Amino acid sequence: MTIIGGALRATAAVLLSAVFGLILIEGLTRLLLPQFDPSGRFAFDHESGPFALATPGYEGRQVKNTGDFDVAVRINRHGLRDANDVAEATPDDIVVVGDSFAWGWGVEAGERFSNRLEGIAGRRTFNVSAPTNIEGYAALLAFAERLGAKIGQVVVAVCLENDLDDGQATGDRGSRAALRDILARHSAAYLFVTTVVHRTSWLKAPAIRLGLVRPYVAGIGGNVDEPKIVEASADRLEDIARHYRTLVLLIPSRGLWLGDNREVEDRVHRRLVAALERRGIDVLDMRPILEAAGNPLAFHFTNDGHWNAQGHALAAEAIGKRLRGK
């Protein structure tokens, strides 16, 4: 018993020392490197029904530990990233809804396709986007109407990496991904270490093997070859189109050009375009526009799947051209 008791005490001492060491490292990182303090970073933490918005009135920064972006974020009184107040929208204005792509993940607000579109189209444009899915887009538009918006023209940005489902998917990103998310939200030391790893080439490969960071290809959401899922998604978009003048902007999956699921991604993409056209929905497919430029991945960040400023500019021009023809 004495030996066992001694072993337990030794184990406890080691664990306590490790915990104390981690707390000390975390504290020193926040004190000496405040730029890595996650408490001041942007997050969608304001629950509002089926979607989460940013905290109303928030002003801060959105930073990627890979160095891809470090941009200002200002949130209005409704929890939306928009200098325009959607409560003032009229049927002559344009309302953009979508997920993090349309929200402008990683780019300054003025670089988003919605902001650029306002200048191109010469019409006020409002952005009511948030990280959600097609069902959530309908809820966001209803939210805008409850605020007082009178909505006429809608641009619905559909991301083919993660927007298609049959309403029954539960989603499971895995324990490692969940742990990374928790650490990124709460640990300055984790953000500091992963920033160093991402920016040091010889450290990145072993960090990927250990699961500390995620390789670029692993971040691509994969579709399955299920026609019923495409049809269900098209039905939801048709519901939106019944209520508003709707242009569906299709944001192609990077899986068309990277990874082992390219044939499936191609079929799913073509199937959705056909399903929307059969329903008489106006569709603007960004795939041929991006591919015509020669390197579609050049319109995404190097280590993040969202569009960079050039991608948003290309989309704004395409949307403006389409709406001018209406």
pLDDT at 167: 44
Mean of the pLDDT values across residues 211-220?
60
Q: Is the pLDDT of residue 236 over 90?
A: yes
Task: Tell me the residue range of the domain where 6 lies.
Answer: 2-32
In our burial notation (b when 16+ CB lie closer than 10 A, e otherwise), range 118-157 reads bebbebebbbbbbbbbbbbbbbbbebbbebebebebbbbb
Q: Compare 37 and 244 and report the one with higher pLDDT.
A: 244
Detail the DSSP E strand segments found in the chain.
Answer: 46-48, 51-53, 59-63, 70-74, 94-97, 125-127, 153-159, 245-251, 282-285
Q: How far is Cα 210 from Cα 25, in angstroms, rounded to an integer?
A: 21
Same domain, 162 and 22: no
Q: How far is Cα 45 from Cα 193, in angstroms, rounded to an integer?
A: 24
Same domain, 74 and 156: yes
Cβ-proximal residues to 45 (8 Å cutoff; 6+ apart), any chain: 52, 54, 55
Q: Is residue 103 part of a domain?
A: yes
* Residue type for position 39: S
- Alpha-carbon Rg of the chain, whole angstroms? 22
Q: Is residue 315 part of a domain?
A: yes
Q: Is residue 178 part of a domain?
A: no
Same domain, 160 and 11: no
138 touches 52 (CB < 8 A):
no
pLDDT at 181: 59
Q: Which of 171, 103, 108 is nearest to 137 (CA)?
A: 103
> Residue 301: what are its φ and ψ, rounded to 5°?
-65, 160
> In the chain, which residue ranges form alpha helices assigned H by DSSP?
2-32, 100-103, 113-121, 134-147, 175-186, 188-198, 201-210, 227-243, 262-278, 286-292, 309-324
Q: Is the pLDDT of residue 288 over 60?
A: yes
What is the count of structural domains for the chain? Answer: 2
CATH, residue 56:
3.40.50.1110
Q: Is residue 189 part of a domain?
A: no
Same domain, 11 and 98: no
Same domain, 122 and 26: no
137 touches 98 (CB < 8 A):
yes
Q: Compare 112 and 1 and report the one with higher pLDDT.
A: 112
pTM summary value: 0.81
> Residue 66: what are its φ and ψ, rounded to 5°?
-80, -10
Same domain, 79 and 26: no
Q: Is residue 101 part of a domain?
A: yes
Mean of the pLDDT values across residues 40-59?
81
Mean of the pLDDT values across residues 306-312?
98
Mean of the pLDDT values across residues 235-259?
97
321 touches 286 (CB < 8 A):
no
Q: How far is Cα 318 from Cα 321, in angstroms, rounded to an integer?
A: 5
Q: Is the pLDDT of residue 190 over 90?
A: no
Same domain, 107 and 19: no
Same domain, 282 and 310: yes
Q: Is residue 191 part of a domain?
A: no
Sign of CA dihedral 117, 119, 123, 124: positive
Mean of the pLDDT values across residues 52-81?
91
Bridge partners for 158 per DSSP: 250
Same domain, 120 and 229: yes
198 touches 303 (CB < 8 A):
yes
Same domain, 64 and 160: yes
Other Cβ atoms less than 10 A from the Cβ of 215: the count is: 13
Residues in the chain: 326
Query: pLDDT above 90 covers what percent of the chain?
Result: 60
Same domain, 69 and 147: yes
Q: Please, what is the average pLDDT of the chain?
A: 85
Same domain, 247 and 123: yes
144 touches 89 (CB < 8 A):
yes
Q: Is residue 21 part of a domain?
A: yes
Q: Is residue 241 part of a domain?
A: yes
